[in-house]
Amino acid sequence: MTQFHDAIAHAQAHEVAWTRDPHAEPLRYGVHHDDPPPWNRLHGPVHARGPVSGQVWVGGELRQSWGEPERADQTFSVAKTYLALLAGVAHGRGLLPDADEPVVRRLPGIGFDSQHNRSITWAHLLSQTSEWEGTCFGIPDQVDRYRKLVLDPKPVQGQKGDARPLQAPGTYWEYNDVRINQLSLALLHLFGQALPQVFEQSILHPIGGGQGFRWEGYEQSWVDLPDVNGQGPQRVASVPGGSHWGGGVCISSSDQARIAQLVLNQGQWPIGGQQRALMPSDWIERMRQPQALAPFYGWLNWLNPQGKAFPGASEDSQFMFGAGGNYVWIEPAHQAVVVVRWIDPAHFPGFVSRMARALADFSGGR
């Protein structure tokens, strides 16, 4: 597929500067180094990574691969979107009937009981507007206050880790990994089952994926679950929605593409010759709705309002982003999904513009 050659060559020429072996060069891998001490340390495992890799799917079919697309590597905050998908599975099962319901109503005693936190809803957590206050597995939410991201135009008024005054839940947008880990803990209690198991059984295996997949927690994130539906008491790891402090999701580019295709398919997947709904389509639709406080963000995925954030990608496109240059792009304009991993983030816009031209040429030539 010569249409994609220029975009792929651009990605391969601009590999992220992170080491491929974090055990040999620990200071050149990860994002925890930017945290104020003593929080600038790992709590979960990290793993050696592969080269720049990726896939392009158009019309539900694989069209191009490069690098090592079957290698399962850590994907950092791409896992946040997986939490939103798991919440969609819970919604479909009737476990989470109303995203605007306060979390404490169903899950008292896990960190949502305080005067400030008890009005926090699932929608607040999914949209990163919860302003949840507390400590999750020994890491305080304050560590990620005043965090600055390139796509957030809001000026930062303080140093990362300072005690920014909290706002009322639902009134302030901030990208905060501790609060995401608190969402993951809440979903664990909601399902009463380890989230990696739920993810494999409900999403990965039905779409034909799962080879090499793992979702790892922290050394201190083990939780005792009571007997649920006759399963007996369990001790399981609550898993993070990223790899900020290690752990998180290891997954292949090909599985990332399958998951993106599931989103593009509105939560449906062909199984046994028939379309099967793995999660409600209205949940998928809600994930891509921009929010007033952050129009570039939906429910744990990034958007492209007016096509300005990533020129070349359509304004209806969605993105899953992870540190280290991990990107998954869902492009409805061409019924395409694109995965690229370990690209220097500074050169991702150049990749998008080249790939957008390639997708237009490919679609026009079919």
For residues 159-187, give the mean pLDDT: 97
Residue 346 pLDDT class (50, 70, 90 cuts) = very high
For residue 270, give the DSSP letter: E
Enter the tokens of residue 47.
């793993």
At 246 the pLDDT is 98
The verdict on pTM exceeding 0.75 is yes
Q: What is the pLDDT of residue 365?
A: 58
* The dihedral sign for the CA sequence 354, 360, 364, 366: positive
Q: How much of the chain is in helix, strand and coil states, percent to nearest 5?
A: 35, 20, 50
349 CB burial (10 A radius; 0-12, 13-18, 19+): middle
pLDDT of 106: 96
Query: What number is the average pLDDT over the span 83-107?
Result: 98
Q: Of the ranges 106-115, 152-161, 173-182, 282-291, which one carries the lowest mean pLDDT score?
A: 152-161
Q: What are phi and psi of 10, to 5 degrees?
A: -60, -45
What pLDDT sits at residue 153? 84
Q: Could you read off the pLDDT of 190-205 as tens digits, one per residue?
A: 999 999 999 999 999 9
CB 128 within 8 Å of CB 175: yes
Statement: residue 99 has pLDDT above 90: yes
pLDDT tier, 84 (very low <50, low <70, confident <90, very high otherwise): very high
Q: What percent of the chain has pLDDT over 90?
A: 91
pLDDT above 90: residue 189: yes
**pLDDT at residue 62 in the model:** 97
**pLDDT higher than 80, residue 329:** yes
Mean per-residue pLDDT over the chain, rounded: 95
365 versus 95: which is more confidently predicted?
A: 95
Q: Which residues contact 357 (CB under 8 A, 6 or more apart)?
A: 6, 7, 312
Mean pLDDT of 254-262: 98
> CA of 362: how far to CAs of 59, 253, 310, 357, in Å?
11, 21, 20, 9
What is the per-residue pLDDT for 155? 85
pLDDT of residue 113: 98
Residues 266-288: tens digit of each pLDDT: 999 999 889 999 999 999 999 99
Domains of the chain from N-terminus onward: 2-91+194-365 (3.40.710.10)
Q: Is the pLDDT of residue 366 over 60?
A: no
Model confidence at 1: pLDDT above 60: no
- Band of pLDDT at residue 3, cut at 50, 70 and 90: confident
pLDDT digit string, tens, across residues 219-248: 999 999 887 767 778 899 999 999 999 999
Residue 360 φ/ψ, nearest 5 degrees: -65, -45
Q: Do residues 262 and 275 lie in contact, with contact meaning Cβ atoms separated by under 8 Å?
A: no
